[in-house]
Amino acid sequence: MTPTFGFSVVRNRFEFSDECKMRCHVWRQYSSTASILIFLSLNETTLLDPDRATTRFKGRQDLFNQIETLALSSPPPILLLYGGRRIGKTSSLRYLPQKMGSDIIPLFVDMQGLQADDPRNFVTALAQAIQTSARTTRNYNLPPIDAEAVRRDPFPALQQWFTEIEQVIDRAKRILLCLDEFERLDRIFAGDQIHAPLNFFRNVMQHRQRWIVLFSGSTHPDDLQSHWNDCLINARSLLVSYLDDAAARELIRQPIPDFPDIYDPAAVERILHLTRC
């Protein structure tokens, strides 16, 4: 038997084997999935960037519509976005500029990322985060906050700076200030100090009709500490939960463009069951 003939026999012997076909199919699934996972790990920053992600974000349109409608109402309420950790609150907030009309200026602030351990540092860091968000989401170059005024009295300085912001942004537009992981305020401001930022945000909502403050966190409204009661007394609560069925299926089958069709219907149903979607 020549080597070529031997190879041909082996090939033909397994060519019609159901087991061989099954193993090849599984291997292709593993290979495709591994390639996608490598792609995701190498491109995490790009994939999560709302300016580049385009169709990769799935679902939440009902939430975006709710926020937009409430933000444009008169007078707009304080908004409280809540839900479990890793449920999609932060990514939803980051996508607001792409999901809302140009008459709303979403300003995203990651409270966990603020380098602040006292009122002055907090106000300075908050102002810098707002400047960055305004520039990247709606191309507004906001003036810097008065550092000397912050040193003297931080929250009155922040009030004055908000007035300056209103002079820069078109008067017909609403300003949606999104404070993600807002519970960190309880760690920055100890004891009675917490009343200073809460009074500030309450004052903004009462006296600045162009501003909407959105607090986002994982704590259920009923479980917040008592000092939040006055600030959130008339807040509109919005629950962020699991994706709806259609969005979840799209995320599984087509997480990125040209994703291979590797999942059997039974596998999709199992994933939906395990993730509670």
Q: Which residue range(s) make up the domain with 21?
A: 1-42
Kindly list the distances between the CA atom of residue 264 and the CA atoms of 29, 33, 215, 227, in Å, as whole numbers in the listed order. 10, 14, 40, 51
Same domain (yes/no): 187, 160: yes
Residues 25 and 130 in one domain: no
Is 258 a member of any domain? no
Q: Are residues 1 and 57 in the same domain?
A: no
User: What per-residue confidence (pLDDT) applies to 60?
Assistant: 86
Sequential DSSP letters for 67-92: HHHHHTSSSPPPEEEE--TTSSHHHH
Domain count, the chain: 2
Spans of the chain below 70 pLDDT = 1-55, 277
| Integer CA distances (angstroms), 208 to 25, 225, 240, in order | 61, 26, 27
Residues 72 and 172 in one domain: yes
Asked if 213 and 201 touch (Cβ cutoff 8 Å), the reply is yes
- CATH classification at residue 79: 3.40.50.300
Cα 277 to the center of its chain, rounded Å: 19
Global pTM value: 0.78
Together in a domain, 30 and 57? no
Q: Please check whether residues 21 and 151 belong to one and the same domain.
A: no
Position 160 scores a pLDDT of 98
Residue 95 confidence (pLDDT): 92
Same domain, 134 and 211: yes
DSSP string for 243-269: PPHHHHHHHHH-SSTT------HHHHH
Q: Is residue 189 located within the same domain as residue 109?
A: yes
C-beta of residue 124 within 8 angstroms of C-beta of residue 147: yes
**What is the model's pLDDT at position 145?**
98
pLDDT value at position 2? 47
Q: What is the pLDDT of residue 13?
A: 45
Could you tell me if residue 8 is inside a domain? Answer: yes
Q: Answer yes or no: do 210 and 119 share one domain.
A: yes
pLDDT of residue 249: 86
- Cα 243 to Cα 210: distance, rounded to the nearest angstrom: 31
Residues forming a β-bridge with 212: 176
Q: Are residues 169 and 64 in the same domain?
A: yes
Contact 80, 223 (CB under 8 A): no
Domain co-membership, 38 together with 167: no
Indicate the DSSP class of residue 142.
P
Query: Residue 84 falls within a domain, yes or no?
Result: yes
On whether residue 260 sits in a domain, the answer given is no
Q: What pLDDT was estimated at residue 239?
A: 94
User: Is residue 262, in this structure, part of any structural domain at all?
Assistant: no
Residue 172 in contact with residue 103, Cβ under 8 Å?
yes
Based on the fold, state whether residues 6 and 104 are members of the same structural domain. Answer: no
